[in-house]
Structure 1
């Protein structure tokens, strides 16, 4: 049985969920971003205890189908941009559609109505945060970063970075205090 958890967007969140499951002696097969596969159905009492335990960590056990779909979209994007070694070679729309097994236009409509932002803009925001992270690590130059994140050119990356942050990547690199956001806050 699958259960879905909202706001689960980092490896730290996965650890908190595993800890809560173990505390309640709930057996699970896997814990992924936003989704947990448990071995058997939860009783209503255990479900309530899990819900309360997760809430203390800032996570929510989800029941609403639309909210679960939004969370799946968010988790696919976060995993794709922040945790995969390379972005998919296909368009994001094709990737999301294949990954979730639903028509992209339906996904985009539901996401926009619910979140008040397009999927494309949400991806851009996350790509910019990834760029900030890579700039701070200072292991790759802008050409390598633009290649890694599938930008057509460094110029395209720089233009998009400036549109979102108001800064050029070079100026951002020079800042003494790097402005990054927690993934949970995006």
Structure 2
């Protein structure tokens, strides 16, 4: 049985979800970001217990098709950005259409209805959080970060960063402040 879960954004989330299933004695076939496959079908009672267990750790069971699609889109965006290999000519619309075999307008409309923000804004916020993370690590220059996240220029990155955070990347780094938002809160 495939179960879709909201707010799984990292390896620790996978471990936490795996632990919840273990506590409920549910045997798993596969666990990845946003999706768990169980060996056996779960009863409604088991699903309700699972939902309660997930909520205690900040996760949610996704039941409707719109919730599932939105969760899958978010996971794809998180994985894409984590890979640090976004081409300068990257188009989010083409990427998501190819990944989900749906028209981008349908994906975008569903996402906006579920999240009360546009896909583009979500994508930009995720990229800005990655920029914050990389700036705090101090291992890459702003030019390198810009290239890895698909920005056409450092100025474009800086403009989006300032619009979201209220400060420039340089100011953010020099103030050495965290100010990061957990990925599941974006």
Normalised to the residue count of structure 1, the TM-score between the two structures is 0.93
* Corresponding residue of 1:26: 26
SS of 1:139's partner is coil
1:101/1:94 Cα in 2 relative to 1: closer, same or farther (>3 Å)? same
* Counterpart Cα distance in 1 of 2:91 and 2:62: 29
* Counterpart Cα distance in 2 of 1:87 and 1:33: 20
CA contact (8 A) 2:131 2:145 kept: yes
When the two chains are superposed, the root-mean-square deviation of aligned CA atoms in Å is 1.5
The runs of 5 or more residues in structure 1 that have no matched partner are none
* Corresponding residue of 2:67: 67
CA contact (8 A) 1:5 1:59 kept: yes
The runs of 5 or more residues in structure 2 that have no matched partner are none
Structure 1 stretches of 4+ moved >6 Å: none
CA contact (8 A) 2:6 2:60 kept: yes
Is 1:176 the counterpart of 2:176 in the alignment?
yes
Matched residue count = 185
* Corresponding residue of 1:86: 85
CA contact (8 A) 2:136 2:176 kept: no
Q: CA deviation at 1:181?
A: 1.0
